[in-house]
Amino acid sequence: MTIAIIAHDSKKELMLQFCTAYSGLLAKHEVIATGTTGRLITQNIGLPVHSYLSGRLGGGEQIAARIACDEVDLMLFFRDPLHAKASEPNDMNILRLCDMHSVAVATNIATAEVLLRGLDQGDLDYRSVYHTSVV
């Protein structure tokens, strides 16, 4: 499974704590991330991450393209809901694409934990069937 991770600046520390707690599970899958987020995960936790551009430079759009091509199975999006950002329209586009392509998405730590536990139990195995049925 391919897991995409995006974290707003104010949520990066929380994202690192989460990834540290679930590093064993994340290591079993392909992890992709925007530039700064991916670099932080690799440097602090040692997980291999395919990092795209920084979110400000188009990394979110690169991940959105992977979602649109059905190449992402799970999205962990550590969003800051309290502070408006210039990237907000792109954030909504990413969430819309996840809905369109049946990608399980978490926008907070509680849902992220539920999704990773479900992934570990095989609850997201439907994605492999979905990949074979999408042309």
Other CB atoms within 10 A of residue 64 CB: 22
Is a pLDDT exceeding 60 seen at residue 112? yes
Q: Spelled out in words, what is the top-level CATH class assigned to the domain 2-133? A: alpha beta
How far, in Å, CA of 82 to CA of 4, rounded? 22
pTM here?
A: 0.91
List pLDDT tens digits, range 15-74. Answer: 999 999 999 999 999 999 999 999 999 999 999 999 999 988 899 999 999 999 999 999
Check: CB of residue 3 under 8 Å from CB of residue 50: no
Domain boundaries, the chain: 2-133
